[in-house]
Amino acid sequence: MGTQGWVKVYRKLLANPIMHDAKLLQVFLYCLLKANHKGQNILFNGQIIEVSSGSFIAGRNVASQDLRLKSNMWDRKLKLLEKLKIVNTQKTNRYTIVSI
């Protein structure tokens, strides 16, 4: 996964409640930009994990470092995005698969 390509952002995002919370918007955009555009299998700790399009593997420490947030802030904002039905998460004790 690289930093190539582009994503569409619709103007209707302006009417979404996440626009009123800068950290929430930051986490949303991070998820949007990190999501795979096509499915792939990833080798992680000796096991193959299938990551579908629109999903990515996130670790709270890496994500919070990337965004310069405290890890508990990442967790809270990700849970809020899940409550708003913008993302779905599948958590393990080592990583989280985030689907947008």
Q: What is the pLDDT of residue 5?
A: 85
- Check: CB of residue 55 under 8 Å from CB of residue 98: yes
Predicted model pTM: 0.90
pLDDT tier for residue 44 given thresholds of 50, 70 and 90? confident
State percent of the chain over pLDDT 90: 81
pLDDT tier for residue 3 given thresholds of 50, 70 and 90? low
